[in-house]
């Protein structure tokens, strides 16, 4: 090889290495920036357990979920959710749903997807089950309401309606419209 060929080959290798280094360093900066930005946008938890307290700090309820993630708007979204009131709250209800969202003000929890609320000491003292697709729970005031289709089983009795307001602590239920039911003595 001539000196000119060797010099040309060395120059090409230097240019190739410089180009590779430049591209590689730019890609790493983009990746690091996106990682940093996603970490600043919120948090996520696996096998989450969140405790809800009253204004005076007493434990009222517990939210367990397979996954929780803070959204860009500040709300926290849970997947595969179960909500239980404590025995001190005297609310014998358990609520489960596919998803739940808690807003920034934490005044209510919106449950959606196969929502089921059950109580062994429900309405009329019978085992009670409420099913709907969407339910808004105000955990501090023990209120649950929906404008969706709802199915209610109280012991052997069955009711359906559109819209409902349930006061979980006092076991009071108000159905809004299109109420129909079956009562077996």
CATH 2.60.450.10 fits 44-182, yes or no: yes
Reply yes or no on whether the pLDDT at 28 is more than 60: no
Task: Yes or no: say if 70 and 42 are a contact pair by the CB < 8 Å rule.
Answer: yes
* Residue 31 to residues 17, 20, 80, 91, Cα–Cα distance (Å): 21, 17, 31, 48
Instruction: Tell me which of 6-10, 109-113, 174-178 is least confident.
Output: 6-10
Percent share of the chain, pLDDT over 90:
39
Reply yes or no on whether the pLDDT at 178 is more than 90: no
Q: What is the pLDDT of residue 129?
A: 94
**pLDDT band at 41; cut points 50, 70, 90:** low
Reply yes or no on whether the pLDDT at 36 is more than 70: no
User: Which H helix or E strand runs over 83?
Assistant: strand 76-85
Domain ranges of the chain: 1-40, 44-182
The HSE-up count of residue 167 (CA atoms within 13 Å, CB side) is 4
pLDDT digits (tens, 9 = 90+) for 89-102: 788 899 999 999 99
Q: Is 166 helix (H, G, I), strand (E, B) or coil?
A: strand
Task: Yes or no: say if 176 and 132 are a contact pair by the CB < 8 Å rule.
Answer: no
**pLDDT band at 38; cut points 50, 70, 90:** very low
Q: What is the pLDDT of residue 31?
A: 46
* Mean residue pLDDT across the chain: 84
């Amino acid at each position: 090889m001539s000196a000119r060929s060797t010099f040309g080959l060395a120059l090409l290798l230097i240019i190739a290495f410089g180009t590779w280094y430049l591209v590689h360093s730019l890609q790493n900066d983009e990746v690091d920036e996106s990682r940093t930005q996603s970490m600043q946008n919120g948090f996520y938890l696996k096998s989450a357990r969140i405790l809800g307290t009253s204004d005076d700090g007493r434990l009222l309820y517990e939210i367990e979920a397979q996954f929780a993630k803070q959204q860009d708007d500040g709300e926290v979204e849970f997947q595969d959710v179960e909500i239980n009131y404590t025995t001190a709250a005297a609310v014998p209800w358990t609520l489960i749903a596919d998803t739940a969202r808690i807003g920034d003000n934490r005044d209510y929890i919106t449950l959606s997807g196969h929502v089921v609320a059950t109580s062994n000491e429900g309405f009329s003292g019978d085992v009670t089950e409420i099913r709907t697709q969407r339910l808004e729970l105000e955990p501090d005031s023990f209120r649950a309401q929906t404008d969706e289709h709802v199915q209610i089983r109280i012991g052997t009795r069955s009711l359906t309606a559109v819209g409902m307001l349930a006061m979980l602590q006092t076991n009071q239920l108000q159905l809004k419209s299109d109420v129909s039911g079956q009562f077996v003595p």
